[in-house]
Amino acid sequence: MTGAPLPLPASAAKVSLFRKLLIHPTGAVSLLVLFLVALASILAPVLAPYDPNASSLKDVLAKAGSEFLLGADSAGRDVFSRLLFAGQFSLAGALVALTVALVIGVTAGLIAGYHGGWFDTVSSWLTGLLMALPGMVVLLAARAVVGQSMWLSMVIFGVLLSPAFFRLVYASVTAVRNELYVDAARVSGLGDVRIIGRHILTVVRAPVIIQSAMVLGIAIAIQAGLEFLGLGDRTIPTWGSMLNDGFINIFKAPTLVLWPALVIGLVCVALTLLANAMRDELERSRGPVKKGRKAAPTGAENASEKRGNAAVVHAEEPSSNHGELLLEVTDLGVGYDQPDGSTTDVVHHVNLTVRRGEVHGLVGESGSGKTQTAFSILRLLPQDGRITGGSILFEGRDLAHLSEKEMTKVRGKRIAYIPQEPMSNLDAAFTIGSQLMEPMRVCLGISKTEARKRALALLAKVGIPHPERTFNSYPHQISGGMAQRVLIAGAVSCEPDLLIADEPTTALDVTVQAEVLNLLRELQEELKMGVILVTHNFGVVADLCDRVTVMQSGRVVETGPVRAIFNDAKHPYTRKLLEAILEDTAPRGPLVTAGTPRELNGVTP
C-alpha cells in the first residue's frame, strides 16, 4: 500500500442550469421573452396608461394612435392597458393550474413510486381515469356546476394535468428506488423523508422542471381557449377574453385579435423552446458514459515514458506453432474523432500475429485498448471510432482498407465473434433457433431444413442437453451459461478461420466458466481455428492460450509464448499484473484474539 494519496483527474466545474441557459441561444431568448412578459404584467399598474376596465362610448373601436397605443376595444377600453393587466390574470391562472398539478402529481408519484403497495395501485388507476377524460368537456361541465370563476376552473384543470407529473415522477422514482445508493442511505439510518428529499427529489427535479415549462404553456393555451369560447370570467381582463372580443369585431377592427394572439403565441412558443433548451442542457451534462465500450485512456501522464519503452518481445519456443500465418496486424492505430475535430488515439502502433490453430491471448486492464484492437480487426468500432493507421492482413487482404461490403463477407463467415455479455447479444424477440439459422442461410446459402439440421447438431455439439427444446426457446428462458454456448455455436456455425472472443467467460460463474473454456478448447482443436482471446483473467490465459500479448494504455508492452510471459516476464507492467494475482497467496489463517492482532495476524508470507 503506497502512503501517498492517489492522483485525481482535473475537476469538472459545476455550472448551474440557469447559467447554462443564458449561454444557450434559444434558451436565452426564451428566458428574456418570458421575463419581459412577466415584468410587464407585474408592473401593469405603473405602466398602463388607463384603467383596464374603464369603458367609454366615444372611444369604441378607436384606432391605434397617440391616444390609445394599440387602439380601444368594443367597449372603448384601452387595448394596451388591458393586455398588461390581462397578463397578470392569465399568467396567475396558468400558475394556479401548474401548482395544483405539481403538488398532486409529484406527491402522489413520489409516494406511489417509493412505497408501492395499495397506494400505487389506486393512484395508477386514478391516473388512467384522469387521462382518459376529455379535459375541455370536463371544464365545460365544471363551469356549469361551480360558476364562471377562472380560478376554480384552473384548479380543476390542474387536477386534470396532474397525471403528466405523476407518470414522470413515478417512472423516475421506481428507477432509482432500488439503486444501491438508496440502500446505502437506508443503512446509514436515514428516514424515508430524508431519503426522498436528498436522493430521489434530485433525480426527478430536472424532468419536472422541463415538464413544468411545457405544462405552463398548455395551461395558458387552454385557459385562453376557454375564455375565447366566452366561458370566462367577464369581470377580469384576460388574453382569452380579449381574443374573444377581437374575434367578434374581426371585420370592424381586425387588429384587435392580433395583440392577444401574438402575446399568447409568443409566451407558449417561449415556454416550449425553454423546455427544449433545458432538456438539451440537462442531458448534455450527464457526464461521461459509465463503463462504456470506449474506455478512452487519457493517460498522458506517462505517455513519454512508454514511448521510450519499446515492447518486450520474447523469442519463439522450439515447440511453438509454426502453422500458416492467419492474421498479421502491423502498426495498428485506432482513434476517436472528437466534436472539436481532433482525434483521441486509444490504440498506438500495435503489432499482433495469429497462426492457424493458435490461441492468442490479449491481456490488459480496463482502458488498455485490448477490446478496441479486437473490434478494429472486425471493423466494428463504435461510432466516431476509426482505424488511424497500420494494416490488418488476413488471407492476403488488408482488412483496414476493405470496403464495408467486402468486409461483410469476411465477418461472420471467415472471422467470427463471441461477446462478453451473452444475454444482450441475443435478440429477445426471436427464438434461439431462428437466430442460429439466419446467419447460416446467408453465409452458407443453404436451405431452411438443412440449416435447422445443422443448428440442432451445433447445439448438441456445444453441450446443450436438450437441443430441440433450446432451439425452440427464447433467450430469456435459458441461463447465462447456456446463452454463451448458443453464441459459441453461432460463432462456429460457418466454420470460421479466426475467432475473436471478447472476455467470453467474464460474466459467467466459475463452474460455468470452466465448462465454457473446455468447450472453446475442443472446438478450437477440432476446427483448427486461430483465436484471439481478449481477457483480464490470467487463469483463463493459462488455461487456453499459446501466446500472450499484454497491453497497457493502448500499447503492446510485452508479447511472447505463454510460458515465457508467466515465467519470465520482463516488462514492469506485466510483472505488476502477475504480482496482483491472488491464487497463490496463503490463506489468512484463523483470527487470533489474544494479543495484538497487528503482530500476530500475518497477511501473506
Partner 1 sequence: MTETLLDIKDVVVEYPPKGFRAKPFKAIKGVSLDIRPGETVGLVGESGSGKTTLGRSVLGLAPVTGGSIKYRGQEISNATRAQRRELSHEIQVVFQDPYTSLNPSMTIEQILTEPLTVRKMERQAANKRVAELLDQVRLPHDAAHRLPREFSGGQRQRVAIARALALDPKLIVCDEPVSALDLSTQARVMELFIEIQERTGVAYLFISHDLAVVRHLSHRVAVMYHGEIVEWGDGGQVTSAPEHPYTQRLLMAAPIPDPDRQAKHRADRLRLLGIQREQDVQAGFA
> Under rule CB under 8 A, which residues in 161-180 are in contact with partner 1?
179-180
Residues 356-385 touching partner 1, rule: CB under 8 A, are 365-366
Interacting residues with partner 1 between 511 and 530 (CB under 8 A): 511, 513-514, 517-518
Residue 105 cell numbers, joined: 402529481
Part in contact with partner 1 (CB under 8 A); list of ranges 155-163, 451-459, 495-503, 570-578: 570-578
Nearer to partner 1, 76 or 480 (CB): 480
Stretch near partner 1 under the rule CB under 8 A, chosen from 38-46, 270-278, 336-344, 540-548: 540-548
Q: Single out the residue of 211, 204, 96 nearest to residue 157, CA to CA.
A: 96
Pick one of 1, 57, 137, 193: the residue that binds partner 1 (CB under 8 A): 1
Total H helices, total E strands in the chain: 24, 11
- Give all strands of the β-sheet with 385-394 in edge-to-edge order: 343-355, 325-337, 385-394, 397-398
Q: How far is the CB of 312 from partner 1 (least distance, A)?
A: 18
Residue 574 has which C-alpha cell? 506485466
Is residue 77 near partner 1 by the rule CB under 8 A?
no
Interface with partner 1, residue 321, by CB under 8 A: no
Is 58 a binding residue for partner 1 by CB under 8 A? The answer is no
Count of CB atoms within 10 A of residue 478's CB? 20
Kindly report each contact of residues 282-291 with a partner whose C-beta sits within 8 Å and lies 24 or more positions away, as own/partner: 282/17, 282/206, 282/210, 285/15, 285/20, 287/12
**The one among 114, 165, 259, 538 contacting partner 1 by CB under 8 A:** 538
CB atoms within 10 A of CB 298: 12
* CA nearest neighbour of 262 among 86, 59, 473: 86
Rounded Cα distance between 208 and 577, Å, is 47
Q: Which stretch binds partner 1 (CB under 8 A): 59-67, 252-260, 303-311, 588-596?
A: 588-596
Name residues contacting partner 1, limited to 464-493 (CB under 8 A). 480
Contact range with partner 1 by CB under 8 A, out of 149-157, 420-428, 485-493, 509-517 = 509-517
Separation between Cα atoms, residue 120 and residue 129, nearest integer Å: 14
Q: Which is nearer to partner 1, 191 or 265 (CB)?
A: 191
User: Is 288 a residue that touches partner 1 (CB under 8 A)?
Assistant: yes
Backbone angles phi, psi at 294, to 5 degrees: -80, 80
Binding span for partner 1 by CB under 8 A among 275-283, 384-392, 399-407, 581-589: 581-589
Tell me whether residue 117 or residue 134 sits nearer to partner 1 (CB atom): 117
Map the footprint of partner 1 across residues 235-274, applying CB under 8 A: none
- Shortest CB 165 distance to partner 1, Å: 20
Contact residue for partner 1 among 465, 590, 595, 605 (CB under 8 A)? 590
Residue 203 engages partner 1 in binding (rule: CB under 8 A): yes
CA distance 261 to 73: 15
How far apart, in whole angstroms, are the C-alpha atoms of residue 199 and residue 331?
49
Q: What is d(CA 556, CA 368) in angstroms, rounded to the nearest whole number?
A: 9
